[in-house]
Amino acid sequence: MTGLESLYTRQKVYRPLAEKLEIASQCEQVHWDRYSVSDGTGIESQVARHCALYQGDPDVTAYRALPSSAFDTPAAGVAYGIQWLSLADIHHNLSDGRPVVAMAVFGKTLFCRVELSAVERQIERPDGEDENAYTALVLAVTNHLRNLRASRWADDVTRAARENVNWG
């Protein structure tokens, strides 16, 4: 393997991300909670609304038992098994090391709190349209988790209509 091929797994997942996803290797579900940093209180209400749909799920119950302060910083989450990703962990063209995704595993469920725009194109491509890091992350997680059978998220679907979705 040479060049870019060596940076990715056979499933086309950036190796630093694949390594961090090993905590979720047996997961069958992933929950996606996306939020904006400009709306500091919005994430808790979004998580509560989303998780209310799955009240009988013991993994969701365990996730909801985490204090919101556990997601304040990477250091605050360590005691709860929360691991953080930066943009630089998602794609080789990204260098921003700021934590933007908190991941926690309960039972067979990976929970992701994602502070990434659903429409911003962070990944510059020389061979076509730029890509969105949130979409790249969802696709990478889907490709990497071989036991995955459900991906759940509650989001404002009108946001996606603001720009053409790039599923490439």
> What pLDDT score does 76 carry?
96
Tens digit of pLDDT per residue, the chain (168 long)?
568 889 999 999 999 999 999 999 999 999 998 876 665 566 788 888 888 989 899 999 999 999 999 998 999 999 999 999 999 999 999 899 999 999 999 999 999 999 876 667 788 777 878 788 888 999 999 999 999 999 998 765 555 445 555 544
Cα separation, 107 vs 19, in Å, equals 19
In the chain, the percentage of residues whose pLDDT exceeds 70 is 84
The string of pLDDT tens digits covering residues 95-143 is 999 999 999 999 999 999 998 766 677 887 778 787 888 889 999 999 9
Cα separation, 168 vs 138, in Å, equals 12
pTM higher than the cut 0.75? yes
